[in-house]
Chains A and B, each alone.
Chain A
Amino acid sequence: MNFDFSDDLKLLKDEARKFLDAKSDSTVVRSILEGPDGYDRQLWSDMAAMGWTGASIPEELGGAGLGALGLCVLAEEIGRSLAPVPFASTMYFAAEALMAGGSDAQQRTWLPKIAKGDVIGTFALAEGPGKATPKRLRTTYRNGVLTGEKLPVPDGMAADIAIVVAQTERGVGVFLADLSHAGVTREHVETLDESRKQARLTFSDVPAEPLAGGGGGERLLATIEQRAAILMAFEQVGGAQRCLEMARDYALERYAFGRPIGSFQAIKHKLADVYVATELARSNAYYGAWALSKNAPQLPLAAATARVCANEAFWLAAKENIQVHGGMGFTWAFDCHLYYRRAKSLAVANGSTRLWKERLVAELESQNAPA
């Protein structure tokens, strides 16, 4: 049994934590949250210089060739630090979509640039409140061009390319668009978590190429969402773990009724529950990492399991972190709200808990021997 990351990847994780502790503390997160910039450029270029933006990209395409597992360990640390950079959009969505469904030419064009940190990518699916089902999508792809509006698009102000889901004459398709085209207009849209800004993207006859992917558009879309769900689960586990530590530390230093509040069972039991939720999420994320790295047939179920569990763990950890901090947790000055924002923002970023639970059970049903 070897259900763990390799020593090399653990070393990478340790280095990532040290780097992010130094370069992405909460003052850095707050400067993006409270300022006009879409992301921290210095942090992003430092990460690219260390090879993080090429972590999962094969070496022959300019990446570090660490595979999905390398990306998982980085994702956990980024989640822990709340790093205000377009890492998820670029790496879990755009780069993964290109690797899953891009042609050789598309991969050769874009992946080396992503690896170098020269290109920021994103994924454009939603079209306002409500679920963007293939049937309801109004963005169209006709005669080689995209037309329509995508809202919200994570890191939409900063992205150079987008993977866009659109309606075609033969159903839904997944397309690659260069956002430098004049037909693209962008507008910042205010969201819950301004430490990762999002945008409204309007496409007017913007040239785009279909991603092939060897299946229909819906199948590729499902694959993109599944792969991103697992990578994002690591971010969420990292965030949940940090919330647990913040709450634990505060419970040790804060006194009430003449004793540390962490000595009260009401607090101890609450934090034990957060610990249990976080460990379950971590274990399910590990299994997802395995499925991702092997491209295993279990991927759809592993992704749904990791996603549901991570959504719930981060949310529980983030809200109970505020609760343990009491009134101080409700102030802008304390960092609890940064995690609370991120937790909810990630929970809807790639399909809600409700949606993935339904996918999970549908997957179980479709297996003759469920569970």
Chain B
Amino acid sequence: MDFEDSKEEAEYRERARSFLARNAKPRTGKGMLYRAAQADESILNEALEWQTRKYEAGFAGITWPKEWGGQGLSAINQVIYDQEEAQFSVPRGIYDIGLGMCIPTVCTWGNQDVRDRYAVKALRGEEIWCQLFSEPAGGSDLAALRTRAVRDGDDWIINGQKIWTSGAHYSHYGVLVTRSDFDAPKHKGLTYFFLDMRTPGVEIRGIKQISGASHFNEVFFNDVRIPDSQRLGKPGDGWKVSLTTLMNERFTIGGRAGVDVDEFIELARGIELEDGPALKNPTVRDKIADWYVASRGLKYSHFRTMTALSRGDTPGPESSIGKLVTGPKLQNMSAMALDILEQGGVITDPDVAPMAALFHQTLMTSPSSRIAGGSDEIMRNIIAERVLGLPADMRVDKDVPFNKVPTGKGSK
């Protein structure tokens, strides 16, 4: 039992490290946490430049097959690269959805011409992709979506609305799942496309979040025409294609920075309570211990996952717990951080609030980490059903024509 790289892994790590050292600045302090709330022109340009450099050095599409323009390496290589990259201050996040979810779907279901046209452009960062899945009527219950696709000659005509689309406003392309048959049961009437986001009839509106930032969008489709050549999978097979997208959520093992015990301890050291520094208060210490064991438990679970990847095995179910542990921890930790500031805890002015209001930001962003990418409740269902083998919920919408499925007010 050890944490050592194999010889090949150590060599790969060295290559990654040397590329990064030559091309990027080491991360200092909490820099990454303060990244701009919105991707403006200059951030997009930096991201493009960095992505192109990665591609040219062979660090983009690490696990993708060579036919897609990737490196054909294993997941452990990706993890090693991510771990090393996390030590550097580089633009992040712009390409995750496209390269992590959209293009793998396009390449799995599209022909070689489609792969040749889109994969490398995306890998080089020249084209950004977004994922048009969730709808006002279909979030956790994605297959309840009702954006309508109607065949018209060689085209399809799309009408409806998507929501929570990250980066739609700066994306060039999107993958889109629609309903083409309202008489079929809900999972059987879906059809999957990709489209140019500049197609006439596509209208994008930012959603202002509770944090004040706008990462997400609403995307409206008003008689949008998509050529049938941009359909992925057969009409009615959209659910199957969607699963490819959802299964491709990539490992985020590489130690993404976020607020954690270190930062809380730093805060608690400097705050005076009625009986001395907050760090000496038993209630505060009790919480620190809780968060620390959760944090470390996750870290070592990642090590177990990496070990499986390193051996070429499929990771065990321990890799599924991360989101469920981290989301509530972030939220509780930031709430406690404000508590120890007492009445001053309300102040969000970064010149006054300790640590430039880092915990205040986290308080207002952490609700999304319990919802996005599978809510806490969905994650618990997944663990219960796929790991523990408990039965799926009883469903009133199964094998019923979609247009006969009951809907509430929120779905109209």
Residues of A within 8 A of B76 (CB): 1
Say whether, besides A2-B307, A269-B377, A276-B325, A283 and B318 are in contact (CB < 8 Å): yes
A280 touches B321 (CB 8 A): yes
Say whether, besides A265-B393, A269-B377, A283-B301, A361 and B307 are in contact (CB < 8 Å): no
Q: Give the complex CA separation of A69 and B1 in angstroms.
A: 9
Residues of B within 8 A of A304 (CB): 289
Selected from A3, A244, A312, the residue in CB contact (under 8 A) with B1 is A3
Segment of A51-59, A219-227, A287-295 in the binding face: A287-295
Q: Does B286 contact A (CB under 8 A)?
A: yes
Q: Does B381 contact A (CB under 8 A)?
A: yes
- Which residues of B319-347 are within 8 A (CB) of A? 321, 324-325
Q: Does A341 contact B (CB under 8 A)?
A: no
11 CB < 8 A contacts A-B: A1-B310, A2-B2, A2-B307, A3-B306, A265-B393, A272-B387, A283-B296, A283-B298, A284-B296, A305-B292, A370-B265
Shortest beta-carbon distance from B163 to chain A in Å: 25
Looking at B289, B299, B387, the one whose CB has the most chain A CB atoms below 10 A away is B289
Shortest beta-carbon distance from B245 to chain A in Å: 24
B390 touches A262 (CB 8 A): yes
Q: Does A98 contact B (CB under 8 A)?
A: no
Q: Give the complex CA separation of A225 and B282 in angstroms.
A: 22
Q: Give the complex CA separation of A369 and B279 in angstroms.
A: 15
A280 touches B304 (CB 8 A): no
Main secondary structure of the interface of A (DSSP, over half): helix
- Which residues of B350-393 are within 8 A (CB) of A? 377, 379-381, 383-385, 387-393
Q: Does A186 contact B (CB under 8 A)?
A: no
Q: Does A364 contact B (CB under 8 A)?
A: yes
Residues of B within 8 A of A369 (CB): 262
A4 closest partner in B (C-beta): B307
Q: Give the complex CA separation of A169 and B318 in angstroms.
A: 51
Q: Give the complex CA separation of A293 and B310 in angstroms.
A: 22
Q: Does A172 contact B (CB under 8 A)?
A: no
A310 closest partner in B (C-beta): B293
A280 touches B293 (CB 8 A): yes
Residues of B within 8 A of A265 (CB): 377, 380-381, 384, 393
Q: How many residues of B contact A (CB 8 A)?
A: 54
Shortest beta-carbon distance from B397 to chain A in Å: 16
Residues of A within 8 A of B321 (CB): 275-276, 279-280
B385 touches A268 (CB 8 A): yes
B79 closest partner in A (C-beta): A1
Q: Give the complex CA separation of A275 and B325 in angstroms.
A: 12
Residues of B within 8 A of A108 (CB): none
B300 touches A364 (CB 8 A): no
Say whether, besides A248-B389, A272-B388, A283 and B297 are in contact (CB < 8 Å): yes
Looking at A1, A282, A357, A360, the one whose CB has the most chain B CB atoms below 10 A away is A1
A280 touches B1 (CB 8 A): no
- Which residues of B269-307 are within 8 A (CB) of A? 279, 282, 285-286, 288-290, 292-301, 303-304, 306-307
Q: A1-B4, A283-B299 are in contact. List 11 more A-B contacts (CB 8 A).
A: A2-B1, A3-B2, A267-B390, A272-B384, A275-B388, A276-B321, A279-B317, A280-B293, A283-B300, A360-B289, A371-B295
Residues of A within 8 A of B383 (CB): 272, 275-276
Shortest beta-carbon distance from A211 to chain B in Å: 28
Residues of B within 8 A of A271 (CB): 384, 388, 390
B9 closest partner in A (C-beta): A1
Selected from B307, B309, B310, B380, the residue in CB contact (under 8 A) with A268 is B380
Q: Does B3 contact A (CB under 8 A)?
A: yes
Looking at B279, B385, B391, the one whose CB has the most chain A CB atoms below 10 A away is B391
Q: Does A256 contact B (CB under 8 A)?
A: no
Selected from A3, A262, A269, A289, the residue in CB contact (under 8 A) with B304 is A3
Shortest beta-carbon distance from A316 to chain B in Å: 13
Q: Does B106 contact A (CB under 8 A)?
A: no
Q: Give the complex CA separation of A3 and B5 in angstroms.
A: 10
Q: Give the complex CA separation of A276 and B260 in angstroms.
A: 19
B394 touches A263 (CB 8 A): yes
Q: Does A251 contact B (CB under 8 A)?
A: yes
Q: Does A347 contact B (CB under 8 A)?
A: no
Q: Give the complex CA separation of A244 and B317 in angstroms.
A: 15
Shortest beta-carbon distance from B157 to chain A in Å: 39
Residues of A within 8 A of B289 (CB): 304, 308, 356-358, 360-361
A5 closest partner in B (C-beta): B1
Q: Give the complex CA separation of A354 and B310 in angstroms.
A: 37
5 A-B pairs closest in CB distance: A280-B297, A268-B384, A357-B289, A283-B300, A272-B380
Residues of A within 8 A of B62 (CB): none
Q: Does A309 contact B (CB under 8 A)?
A: yes
Say whether, besides A268-B380, A276-B321, A360 and B292 are in contact (CB < 8 Å): yes
